[in-house]
Amino acid sequence: MPQLPSVLQSPLSPNVELLLDSAIPARMAWVDGDGHPRVVPIWFHWTGEKLAVATFKGAQKLDQIAAGQVVAVTIDSQTFPYRGLKIRGPVELVENDGLSPEYREAAVRYLGPNVADRWCESLAHLDQVTLLITPKWASASDMSDAPFLKETP
């Protein structure tokens, strides 16, 4: 198994673990066929080794993202003091009959177990492709220890 970037190696820092366990959507960027950037919010699931996201067969992004292509992801909190995790690496594409197993796991985190069941049931007739991102580079940040917050007027 290739070595993970240091911030993703066990034991994870509380900051990184909180972000990977959070219900914050990842924002994933890639380069389209014209060489231009694209970015979308997307549910993720961290497997411990790879960042999994899923999309529906026929989605436009599948025409633009080939196996081995590098994508970039940020998972970051939206209120000050900001915390964040950035990951970049190549994708593997895994076709599923029905929903991606990692998407079902993600749904529980994002919606809670009861609504996740109903949500996935409503989509169970659709086929998904799982994008498995192998982190080649990662960086974490946490502004909660910024000197600014320690200043007194």
Binding site for its own copies (CB under 8 A): 23-25, 27-31, 35-41, 70-74, 76, 78-80, 82, 84, 86, 88, 110-111, 118-119, 122, 148, 151, 153
Q: Closest Cα to residue 47, out of 105, 98, 88, 97?
A: 105
CA angle in degrees (0–180, nearest 5) for 82-103-34: 75
Shortest spacing between CB 11 and its own copies, in angstroms = 26
CA atoms within 13 A on the CB side of 56: 7
| CB closer to its own copies, 3 vs 122 | 122
Integer Cα distance of 135 and 115 in angstroms: 30
Closer residue to its own copies (CB): 31 or 94: 31
Provide the phi-psi class of 88: left if phi over 0, else alpha when psi is between -120 and 50, else beta: beta
Nearer to its own copies among residue 42 and residue 94 (C-beta):
42
The phi and psi torsions of 102 (rounded to 5 degrees) equal -70, -30
CB of 21 to its own copies, least distance (A): 14
For residue 148, the minimal CB distance to its own copies (Å) is 6
Comparing CB distances to its own copies, the nearer of 56 and 95 is 56
Shortest distance in whole angstroms from residue 82 CB to its own copies: 7
